[in-house]
Structure 1
Amino acid sequence: MATLIRPPPINPSQSTIENVLELTQLSDIDSDLFTNTRPLWHPPGARGIYGGAVIAQCLSAAQRTVDKDFTIHSMHCYFVLAGNSEIPIIYHVERVRSGKSYATRTVQARQRGKVIFTTTLSFVRKDSGGKLKVEHAAAMPKISPPVEGDQDMEFFGGDTMSPFQSQRIEILNNDSPRPETKKTRQWIKARGTISPTGGHEAHLSALAYMSDSYFVGTIARVHKLWRYSKERKRSIDEDVLKKLLAMDDDALKRVNFLDDDDVKTLKRIRNGEDMDEVVSTEDDKPEIGMMVSLDHTIYFHNPREFRADEWMFTEMETPWAGDGRGLVFQKIFTRDGKLIATCVQEGLVRLKQPSESKL
């Protein structure tokens, strides 16, 4: 059973991402208890549900326990256990402190009594900084704008489209031998239009959801590692492969789940080379054995000055990887260059060892 209570019909007045992230308050038990209204997505090949959904629903739950003039400015999260998409999640909000300028909440996400995710969130009262302020912000790099009307191929499960769109941009310094100098970049936005009734809270939750998209995966991309087993590469869905092979080079570069090496492989297949032969020539490339998020932090800089259903630019870089872990930084800007969030994630990144490949 994926939800505790039977889901209501999809609300057509809300965007897809609002419906995906909808919460049910368990008021008869405790006003600070919530559960997912709809089933949560388990990405193909992942150990559990998409982490961005739990991040976003924890934020949504906490936002419902603070006054309207308080806005999230930071949340610090830890992934404890892989979430099971077949079991409802119970979100318990603890009201740690409610001060004049700041409020603190913790949220635990539980399944079958076990904590799978925990976060501490801090909210600040609107305009509490005074008239005189210390201000500066990183500038957005000059980049090509998103392609309007372009259809991506990011699927949410089966034939259902993801609640957000993304268009990847070429990796900066991709030919450098130093992974720490590379930057992965993309445009993202929620599909459709987020409803006025959702308020700024809906846009913040949507941003939190999208912030986990290919975050720790940055490490695999800058090291040019296989993120999936070679068996899975060979068994790619034929219909998806046909669509990919029919795309031109520019369209392929914008497909969310492809990296630059994937594009090169598809070009070789399109030029007449056999897929198995193409993959077998790269069998000596290191392969990810396990890659999961350990923690996730978001700092919201201008939390009421953006729309998550308009294009936002993200830039990710990884300053360090070692001892089976890696660290990634992410900046998120509005289309006109306003810095709206900075995110940090550490993940477990283990390569498949030679002995494992023989099993």
Structure 2
Amino acid sequence: MKDTKELLEILILDDIGDNCFNGISKDIGSPNVFGGQVLAQSLNAAYRTVPKERILHSLHSYFLEAGNLNIPITYSVQVIRDGGSFSTRRVTAHQNDKTIFILACSFHREEEGYEHQMPMKKDLKQPEELMSWSDMLAQFGDFLPKKLKEFLSIERPIDFKPVQVVNPLMKEDLPPVVDVWFKLKGNQGDLKLAVKQQILTYISDYNILTACLYPNASKAHFGNTQMASLDHSMWFYRDFDFDDWMLFSIESPNSYGARGFACGNIYSREGKLIASVAQEGLMRPIRKDK
């Protein structure tokens, strides 16, 4: 995928009736289906069953099995409740007879209320001062570890520009913090909030577990650690647009027992808090046979 148009072609599912929908997968450099894709496709399925005036405000999900890139995924939506203000849905993703993912999500009609937010970090480098993943590949590709080079070589519909550029050859422990700017490629057009939330959910599964690796970066890296999303939650606050860079500010409070936990906030460039994300992931050291 090279732009927003191709991303939307993946996220918008085929309606096969009885609140069931089919989707296909795209390779992003992993042998299995990308978790962000399953999250976003599940939201697309849920949104198709909800009254139009209701907007997603939270989701909670579990990844149960690795998805097969070559098999279509069927999403079954269960209508849990449609109340006066909130609607709740449960989505189950299947490949053949295997359940690979479950999602619970809640939608809320628009209401007036009190407001506050945590501010965005100050004095961060702006995107124009930073290198994108593509820039890093072009400049340092010959020196990067093979797996990292292959991952960066995949064409994506999003540009990422990390604020903290880490040299993978230094092998030093780092603070459990990741700040990364991101922007969609191509013309976004006039996207509805529901579609923007699905795209943001897709993006939110990138970068987040990196913060869990950093405190052990002297010995742990993507090449010697089995990593996978175990669960993923998000809370959505405000409307937004993708016409400028956005910031995903992440920190990891803990890793233990082959699992790591990270959470973060997503801001507009002007500092408006759009959403919060939390994820626990598998971080299993790969033991080589002696």
Using the size of structure 1 for normalisation, the TM-score is: 0.69
**Is the Cα contact below 8 Å between 2:78 and 2:89 reproduced in 1?**
yes
3-state secondary structure, aligned to 1:336: coil
**1:222 shift after superposition:** 3.5
3-state secondary structure, aligned to 2:164: strand
Q: Distance in 2 between matches of 1:47 and 1:295?
A: 19
Paired residue for 1:292? 228
Q: Distance in 2 between matches of 1:219 and 1:339?
A: 23
**1:159 shift after superposition:** 7.2
Paired residue for 1:21? 11
Query: Is residue 41 from structure 1 mapped to residue 26 from structure 2 by the alignment?
Result: yes
Given candidates 190, 203, 220, the residue that maps to 2:196 is 203
**Is the Cα contact below 8 Å between 2:233 and 2:278 reproduced in 1?**
yes
Query: Any unmatched runs of 5+ in structure 2?
Result: 138-148
3-state secondary structure, aligned to 1:59: helix
3-state secondary structure, aligned to 1:26: strand
Structure of greater Rg: 1
Counterpart code for 1:313: L
Paired residue for 2:140? none
Paired residue for 2:212? 219
**Is the Cα contact below 8 Å between 2:176 and 2:212 reproduced in 1?**
no
Q: Distance in 2 between matches of 1:228 and 1:291?
A: 8
Counterpart code for 2:230: L
Using the size of structure 2 for normalisation, the TM-score is: 0.84
3-state secondary structure, aligned to 1:170: coil
Q: Distance in 2 between matches of 1:326 and 1:49?
A: 20
Paired residue for 1:77? 61
Q: Distance in 2 between matches of 1:107 and 1:60?
A: 10
Paired residue for 2:185? 191
Seen in structure 2, the aligned counterparts of structure 1 residues 357 and 338 have a Cα distance that, compared at 3 Å, is farther
Map 1:102-181 onto structure 2 (within 5 A): 102-127=86-111, 130=112, 133-142=113-122, 143-147=124-128, 152-153=133-134, 161-170=155-164, 181=175
Query: Is residue 60 from structure 1 mapped to residue 60 from structure 2 by the alignment?
Result: no
- Kindly provide the CA deviation profile for residues 168-188 of structure 1, in whole angstroms up to 9, marking residues without a partner as x: 11179xx9x986x53111001
* Percent of aligned pairs with the same amino acid: 31
Seen in structure 2, the aligned counterparts of structure 1 residues 126 and 112 have a Cα distance that, compared at 3 Å, is same
Query: Any unmatched runs of 5+ in structure 1?
Result: 1-9, 230-286
Q: Cα RMSD over matched residues?
A: 2.8
Counterpart code for 2:213: A
Counterpart code for 1:22: I
**Is the Cα contact below 8 Å between 1:314 and 1:331 reproduced in 2?**
yes
Given candidates 342, 347, 352, the residue that maps to 2:276 is 342
- Kindly provide the CA deviation profile for residues 119-175 of structure 1, in whole angstroms up to 9, marking residues without a partner as x: 000000012xx3xx3322110012122129976428998976201111011179xx9
3-state secondary structure, aligned to 1:220: helix
